Chains A and B, each alone.
Chain A
């Protein structure tokens, strides 16, 4: 036993974990068995909205709080499952009345307000497809995603609409409606008031037959060589949500659950909306951004029992020299899970020392739809490891061979690409309109994740890095190509190479190296102009934080910028194989 490992004593838990014997549960688990956990749509099939809201509203949990919303100005609102059923039915009727049908894409660009959560379920009830955007995207990322996702409707606020959508509106001729959450009257035939439409809508809606393979959610993920891709998910993904809610989040009937992720990203939808409601949990949503004192107060006042958060936030809490358990009553908290990027071992141990609970890291991706590998409440934590594969999930470490085949690496502690065996219900069903890209993610029966990792002798996985150039910043993926393309639209920029520069707080920060066109010279003023240009076009979530001017960028003989070399130079590391580098 390694002295850094964190052992668990089952008899010390306030409630008995759902999984105690990992090996047994893993061996016995069958996906077919999960079907019994769902009621099914009365009209037939499987629909996330019915399983998340309606079936609870029709049963014993009708009056239980489904959504507990905390506004940034101190507001506190609750919605029971019965209320949610009515509100979401109204929104499904709104969409139906507007002529939005099955499979058509409804985008959201919104702060974390109740209307957003109501809309998400309403969209699924209407069998339309939810496409969440992050509200800190700038106009360019919004445009690229809406074009690629064939946006028919956008749900947003007046301020976000005016600032980020009006400038690109004429490039979106297929966008039929914009529904504003915070206006009382319709602005035009196209720009409508959400609340006005809701007032006129009936609060009953019968979900039509829904095939479990029908598209439910389209999340965009960043590409390394191209623009973002729409990751297609289906209603059946709810099987994985149920399984991970049971074993990773260890849901029990009296839990108060808080997921701090924004629904603009996949954690915020899979675990900030769907999973807690599938399990009939009270789901806490805070509108505000990170604020240490506020967060501790929420954990205390709302008696949070299960908390799902992110490394960036944990690292910020760690900066405070305090004794949270002495200043706040955190006695209800019994499980902390973290996702977004690998959690450093110090953070796991900090949790144990300062919060009285170790922090459990886990791993998954937009493409997998749900958690795949995790440290579990009842199991030993090996700090720095992402944990072991969940029941129903088979993972492996593979090497890609030159002939396109792969070889599984069976030797422990040997690095390779982390791969998952296909067949689990939430694995994505496609990249919208880019079938070739989708196919290229699979070799035989394996989905190749693009993450590098190794597996130790006991089946714990350890993250090593990305196999490609994708940047992980504050837990979000940023595609270098998207940033480079935007920068190159500036008249001074000849070429741009974008990398993730390691940062203690946010994992990596977006850094751009640029060469200038003749007639322009590097200056502080130009650097500021480019930073501002990036922010305006891309938004704060994607824009480069640092810009460095260079005479030339390292390129292959065929002219492709070698980001790998830029990164090695930035970090003072060996440049690796530079045989393809141009002279």
Chain B
């Protein structure tokens, strides 16, 4: 029974959760990761809304399925009611069910999702918002991040270039332009509920605004080869002051250490608003 062992040891590893009890731990697993962005709650809220509507309609289906199966089983209800279901009342009921699903869930979530999509997720920060600008490049199997240096221009000698290590300030909008060097990747921030594909030859972008300082994971969500699962980067969110301190240090270091002879360094591109 060797294969039971990891299960047990996993449980031991979760000893901290033990006091939660079984249901507590189950509930814990059913939650998305901690939300660290201003607008992540929109997605969580819409998910919750859809879930409640779904549960309502699925319970209806189950009531019909199990209820009818029980109530009209042959031993209890030997004579079936002969109908084609084309009486007016039948058609009306079927239509009402169809429309209530469509109007009750679909049109509602479409409208809300559309509002969020247009109003928030594709409402890109402009130059006036002074967002943190990042360029991200995916390659098999690592993420590169680039900050403009003191000159505010990308792809110049004083850029801060990070490997698998993204640092962001909180309470400021962040806009990331994403590109891939080889195959398609997908830049995935589980904690910000956001992802966007990194595609060779085509810029995509993504923005969010962190709210909490801490350490988080960044992943690649699109299959990109054998070590796809290892394409993990680290996100550190700082308070504005800590971020400023880190940035000035990193910029100084970049001026010192950037090897301008190395063409590999200049994978960036001109920032396009």
- Indicate whether A and B interact: no
List residues of B whose CB falls within 8 A of some A CB.
none
